[in-house]
Amino acid sequence: MHLSRLARTVLVTGWTGHRRVHQYRGGHVESHGGVRINIDRNWLDLGGGSRIGRQPAHCGGAATYDFARYAARAVGSRGALVRTVQCLLTGKGRYSGAVDGKYDAGLGTAVRKYRVSRGLAAGAATTVHTWVALLADGTNPALKYGSASIAVRRVQRALNAADAAGLSVTGVFTAATTTAVKRYQRAHGLSATGVVAAPTWRALEAGRA
């Protein structure tokens, strides 16, 4: 099939919603089931692109996972980031205390055990490496440009924690996410494919930052 100049332009610059691809064959009459109807074969509706549902509230709305910067927290700290640590560990079955934003000795013990389980140095503080591991921890599907899932959200958060990537946590694997993945891969000696496969998941879940 030969594409017109308009069609080639659309393919290069992106699809335009609810428009013709090219002048292949316009309105004409066809017979289907004994009924004659006029059909426009130039029409192609590609839908709205990659999408994901709204993010549910975490820990009954007590915590959020999305921050521009995942700063270190330690025993004695308070606030939203501490609630997020508590909530993440609760979801992994590693903390049973209150999600109250207070970094006490009990939370420190839970963090220490989690760090050891991920091969990190023992310690009660939630460091940048702990954040990366916590945020990435989960299922490991292969992800690439156009993917849309909860796993993409985890990658976006983990990259924000690892090198302040500044990604919007949308759950959709955008061009900006691809760029951030490639940067992370190069920084850690991985093939800069922009695809999150097993080697990249291993690096993230090991807390490499």
Condensed to tens digits (0 to 9), the pLDDT of residues 61-106 reads 888 999 989 999 999 999 999 999 999 999 999 999 999 999 999 9
- What percent of the chain is predicted at pLDDT more than 90? 68
Q: Which of 5-9, 111-115, 126-130, 198-202 has the lowest mean pLDDT?
A: 5-9
User: For residues 90 and 110, what is the distance between their CA atoms, to the nearest angstrom?
Assistant: 10
Q: What is the DSSP letter of 172?
A: B
Q: What is the pLDDT of residue 43?
A: 58
The C-alpha angle with vertex 74 and arms to 72 and 77, in degrees rounded to 5, equals 95
**In contact, 131 and 161? CB cutoff 8 Å:** yes
**In contact, 139 and 149? CB cutoff 8 Å:** no
Condensed to tens digits (0 to 9), the pLDDT of residues 178-198 reads 999 999 999 999 999 999 999
**In contact, 171 and 152? CB cutoff 8 Å:** yes
Class of 63-205 in CATH: mainly alpha
